[in-house]
Structures are given as structure tokens and as C-alpha cells.
């Protein structure tokens, strides 16, 4: 395996780094403090192609591999994990429209989503179904040329601020086979949004519950066929797990960079912190964990790009490892900053808060362990 990035990939990563430093770094702390959803920044990201990195080219996407997407998201998350995480969600939704949308949906929504002028939320989780996504109860009944949508979703990123919703709803019997996926105009009558959740982190993206009461969705806004919804959701989650793992790697790199600078600047007992062997050991472990997480994420992305049968297992491994290690690196960097790490003047407290939720969403890390163990023990998968 070639572990080196191509010149084109390196240039792509540098473009993302420049965007992050110019568009995210000056504002990230204020967006967090004031809970601002930076719509105009997302539009500028779209102009760079960052709203549709792996979406189909025929809707305006770049059509690049998932590996290339990790390069962009890592650079941005090193500065602002919260804003970057929403960008990954929008990328997933745009990819779904390009992959499974009807001609009508692709024409109506695809180009605007690809360029970031229309933003999307992903609606799978419900008040009563989190890890057990197949038990969702939101229902869509076909009546004439429309589906009538009823139910509720919870913890929807961007809910109330976005233009389109990718909604998983039940069209058949219980279980995974009865779930279908829909593209829903976020402004349709019958859609109501709950209060903005007051969260520990991820404050640059709104999070709300959504209720659907007799919402009429055109029949041609079905993604794929009836009953394909759970399959589409799981395909989305494989990529989503890589995306959120990448955001953790980015946060870890941002924390590592901040710690390195601080260790040279801060002096105690007449020498910089960088001169203390105990702190050197801590920093060495942080760097090792960041690199290990990065390589695991890139391996999983390559598996997904290649369509490997064990891709889901590797995506789960990458999500579990990178989100655990990434959060720990952020905590360790905060500890190295001492009391200053607890202040909002420094980025560490925000990196800690924003990266904590990565261990919970896109499937908790406990569920990742279930997936990995099941593949290895019950299905005889191999990781060699």
C-alpha cells in the first residue's frame, strides 16, 4: 500500500487548510460562543467544491474518493470540528441525492446542494430509536402521487436552518426491510421544528427535533425503491463513520499543534515545558495516537472506495479508534496547558467539547464494538 499522498491530494489538502485558516479560524470561537450557524461560510465552502466532494459529477459534485474527503475534513476540523462535522453531514446527503435520487430530485436539488446554496439535514434518529435504527416508527403512506409523512425525528443537525431533509420513514412492515428514504423540502406544510438544543459542544450547528404531521412528499422524491431506506442509511453510516472519525483526527491534530507551541512558550522552573521529560513522553504518545488514528481512518476510506466486502468492519474500527484516541489527545493537550487550557482564550476547551460527541453519534462506540465482534465471530471475517 502506498502511504504517501499524491501531489494532487497534497494540493487539495493545502487548499482545505487555507480555507480553514481564512474562513473558520477567525470566527470559530464566536460561532461557538453565540451559537451561530454560518450559512454564508458553507456557501463559500461550496464554491470550493467542499459541499460535494464525493457526490456524483453529473449533479455538480467533484466525484472524488472518500480518501480525498478525509484530507479536506481533517484540515478543517483541526480548526473547527463543529462546523466541519455539519459539512460532512451535508456531503453525505448530497451524495445520497446523486446516488439514488430520481431525475426530478437530481435536477431540483442536486446542483444547489452541490454548490452549497441549499443545505441538507439527515433525519434517521428518533426519540425512541437511536442505536436501534431499524425500529424507527416515522411512517410514509402512499396516497395517489404523494407520500403522507407522519412521525418525529430527534437530534437533527441543522434542523430548522437547512433547506432539504433526507428522511428515513417506514413504508412497510417492521424491521429494516420496511424502511424507505425520502428527499423532503424542509419548508413543506406540516413540518415543525423544536427548540434549539442547548449542547455541551457543536454549537456552530443547530440541533433540533422535527415533527411531521401529514406532510405531503411527492412520490418521485423517494430515494431508490421502497424498502431501500435502511440499506441507504447503512451505506451512509459507513461513510459517516469515516467522516466523524476524520473530524476527531483533525481535532487531535489541532490540539497537538497547540500543545507544541505552548510547550515551547511556557516556562516553569526556569525552562520551557518542552524540556521536561515527563511532558515529552506525554506529547510523544499524543503524536503517536494521532498518527495511528489517521492511518486507520485512511485505511477504512480506501476499503470503502474499493468496495471491499469488509469495508463496514473497517469503518466501525476507524470510528471507534479515532474518536476515542482523538478525544484523549484533546484532553491531554488541555492538561498540558494547565489552567490556561480551561479558558476560552485558548482553543483546547472547545476542541474537547466538540470532539466528545464523536464517541456517541454515527453509532456509539459500544455499538462499533458490537459490529466489529459480530463480523469477526459470527460471520468469520478476517482482518489480515
Active site residues: 362
- Closest by CA to 78, choosing from 290, 266, 363, is 290
Residue whose grid cell is 476515542: 324
- Measure the CA–CA gap between 185 and 382, rounded to whole angstroms: 43
Give 211-280 as a DSSP string.
EEEEEEEEGGGEESSTT-HHHHHHHHHHHHHHHHHHHHHHHHHHHHHHHHHHHHH-EETTEEGGG-HHHH
Residues 93 and 121 sit within 8 Å (Cβ to Cβ): yes
The count of other CB atoms within 10 Å of the CB of residue 5 is 15
Residues 83 and 19 sit within 8 Å (Cβ to Cβ): no
Sorted by sequence, the CB contacts under 8 Å of residue 244 that are 6+ apart come out as: 85, 88, 319, 323, 358, 361, 362
Sorted by sequence, the CB contacts under 8 Å of residue 116 that are 6+ apart come out as: 42, 43, 44, 45, 46, 47, 50, 51, 90
Sorted by sequence, the CB contacts under 8 Å of residue 181 that are 6+ apart come out as: 96, 100, 166, 167, 168, 169, 222, 223, 224, 228, 229, 232, 233
Amino acid at each position: 500500500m502506498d502511504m504517501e499522498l499524491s501531489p494532487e491530494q497534497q494540493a487539495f489538502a493545502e487548499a482545505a487548510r487555507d480555507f480553514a485558516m481564512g474562513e473558520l479560524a477567525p470566527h470559530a470561537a464566536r460561532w461557538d460562543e453565540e451559537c451561530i450557524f454560518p450559512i454564508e461560510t458553507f456557501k463559500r465552502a461550496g464554491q470550493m467544491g467542499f459541499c460535494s466532494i464525493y457526490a456524483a459529477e453529473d449533479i455538480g459534485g467533484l466525484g472524488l474518493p472518500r480518501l480525498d474527503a478525509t484530507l479536506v475534513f481533517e484540515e478543517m476540523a483541526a480548526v473547527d470540528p463543529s462546523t466541519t462535522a455539519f459539512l460532512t453531514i451535508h456531503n453525505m446527503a448530497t451524495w445520497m441525492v446523486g446516488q439514488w435520487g430520481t431525475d426530478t430530485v437530481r435536477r431540483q436539488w442536486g446542483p444547489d446542494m452541490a454548490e452549497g446554496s441549499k443545505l441538507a439535514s439527515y433525519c434517521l434518529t428518533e426519540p425512541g430509536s437511536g442505536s436501534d435504527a431499524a425500529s424507527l416508527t416515522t411512517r410514509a403512506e402512499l396516497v395517489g402521487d404523494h407520500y403522507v409523512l407522519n412521525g418525529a425525528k430527534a437530534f437533527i443537525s441543522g434542523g430548522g436552518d437547512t433547506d432539504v431533509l433526507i428522511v428515513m420513514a417506514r413504508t412497510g412492515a417492521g424491521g429494516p426491510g420496511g424502511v424507505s428514504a425520502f428527499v423532503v423540502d424542509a419548508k413543506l406544510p406540516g413540518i415543525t421544528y423544536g427548540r434549539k438544543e442547548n449542547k455541551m459542544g457543536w454549537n456552530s450547528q443547530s440541533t433540533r427535533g422535527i415533527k411531521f404531521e401529514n406532510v405531503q412528499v411527492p412520490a418521485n422524491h423517494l430515494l431508490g425503491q421502497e424498502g431501500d431506506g435502511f440499506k441507504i442509511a447503512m451505506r451512509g453510516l459507513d461513510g459517516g463513520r469515516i467522516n466523524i472519525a476524520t473530524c476527531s483526527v483533525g481535532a487531535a491534530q489541532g490540539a497537538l499543534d497547540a500543545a507544541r507551541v505552548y510547550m515551547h512558550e511556557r516556562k516553569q522552573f526556569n525552562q520551557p515545558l518542552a524540556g521536561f521529560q515527563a511532558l515529552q513522553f506525554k506529547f510523544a504518545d499524543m503524536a503517536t495516537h494521532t498518527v495511528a488514528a489517521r492511518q486507520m481512518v485512511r485505511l477504512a476510506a480506501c476499503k470503502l472506495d474499493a468496495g471491499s466486502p469488509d469495508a463496514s468492519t473497517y469503518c466501525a474500527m476507524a470510528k471507534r479508534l479515532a474518536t476515542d484516541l482523538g478525544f484523549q489527545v484533546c484532553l491531554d493537550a488541555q492538561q498540558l496547558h494547565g489552567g490556561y487550557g480551561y479558558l476560552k482564550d485558548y482553543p483546547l476547551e472547545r476542541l474537547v467539547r466538540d470532539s466528545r460527541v464523536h464517541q456517541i453519534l454515527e453509532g456509539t462506540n459500544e455499538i462499533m464494538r458490537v459490529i466489529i465482534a459480530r463480523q469477526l465471530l459470527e460471520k468469520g471475517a478476517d482482518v489480515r
